[in-house]
Amino acid sequence: ALVIMAAFFSTIMTLLFKVRDRVLVWQKGVIKW
């Protein structure tokens, strides 16, 4: 069960970082305008 929790947590962290990077890029585009 511990291994499953660790894999689940790492997957969520990766998704969060991808979403955050996309939001940061989107915000930069908005600031340019």
Residue 33: the pLDDT is 61
The gap between the terminal CA atoms of the chain, to the nearest Å, is 49
Cα angle for residues 24, 27, 32 (degrees, 5° grid): 130
Residue-level pLDDT at 26: 87
Domain residues for 3? 1-32
pLDDT digit string (tens) for 1-33?
899 999 999 999 999 999 999 999 888 888 766
Check residue 2 and give its pLDDT.
95
Burial class (CB in 10 A: 0-12, 13-18, 19+), 16: exposed
Number of domains in the chain: 1
Give the H or E element holding residue 11: helix 2-32
